[in-house]
Amino acid sequence: MFTYKGINARDMHLRVLNDIEFASPRRDVNLIQIPGRHGDLVMDNGRFESVKRAVPCRMEVPSHVNAEEVISQINNWLIDDGRQHELLWENDPEFIYRASIYDDVISQRILPHYGKTIVNFTIHPIKYLRTSLVERQITSGTSMNNPFTAPAKPIIRIVGSGNINLNVGGRQVVLTGIDRGCILDSENQTILTFDGQRTIFDRMRGSFPELKPGNNVVTFSGNNVQVFITPRLGALV
């Protein structure tokens, strides 16, 4: 069973069937043909593609409920916008998924109070460990372990002013002229002011930090600097 946008499928009179295909994420690569060279040259774009997953469900509507009204409720629940939302699977409780609906939601009434629905999800290739989505304060020299094979792209909130040096697992970031602090979001590739209202790319030199598989030592220096990290550890779906 799944919960999408905070609503459990059971509340929509749905029961997930067993015949779900679990395709793995595909590495995003370009195959380049070069004259005179056998085979293709593989150019890795450094990312995984989203996964499409069709989830067949049985619809069981109580006798006092109109099936057409339930189908309308299901449609309004699932396809009111095209954005990604939180998706939870009861069989994988330690992780949080992100998903959107990629195709029509197909519902069919078979009997007056029974039917079937196919929910077509586009799922972000990384599922996030719940416990890693909590911000924690660290001291300089802290070692953070990433037990998964996918590099984690954390949110790093820095409190401090002036010039600040940050090093995460050997990847250095130099921040200059910081006022009160800033927020580095490695997944969304943004650096924001302390209040999160505007970007300040001109104050940053270096690439956005990642927590690579294994141990990552985090060090920082500056004037009364405090660092808070939301690790966002994740595995492939």
Higher-confidence position of 110 and 122: 122
Distance CA 141, CA 117 (A): 52
Tell me the per-residue pLDDT of 168-224, one tens digit each, with 9 for 90 and over: 999 999 999 999 999 999 999 999 999 999 999 999 999 999 999 999 999 999 999
Domains in the chain (CATH in brackets) are 2-124 (2.40.30.200), 129-236 (2.60.120.860)
Per-residue confidence (pLDDT) for residue 39, from 0 to 100? 72
Query: What's the mean pLDDT in 135-151?
Result: 96
Whether the pTM exceeds 0.95: the reply is: no
Question: What average pLDDT is seen over the chain?
Answer: 89
- Secondary structure string (H, E, C) spanning the chain: CEEECCEEHHHHCEEECCCCCCCCCCEEEEEEECCCCCCEEEEEEEEECCEEEEEEEEEECCCCCCHHHHHHHHHHHHCCCCCCEEEEECCCCCEEEEEEECCCCEEEEEECCEEEEEEEEEECCEEEEHHHHCCEEECCCEEEEECCCCCECCEEEEEEEEEEEEEECCEEEEEEEECCEEEEECCCCEEEECCCCCECHHHEECCCCCECCEEEEEEEEEEEEEEEEECCCEEEC
If pLDDT is split at 50, 70 and 90, which confidence band does 110 have? low
Do the Cβ atoms of 79 and 12 come closer than 8 Å?
no
194: which 2 tokens? 């302390």
Tell me the per-residue pLDDT of 153-172, one tens digit each, with 9 for 90 and over: 999 999 999 999 999 999 99
Nearest to 74 by CA among 87, 99, 57: 57
18: which 2 tokens? 């067993």
Lowest mean pLDDT among 6-15, 45-54, 85-94, 159-168: 45-54
217: which 2 tokens? 């030592």
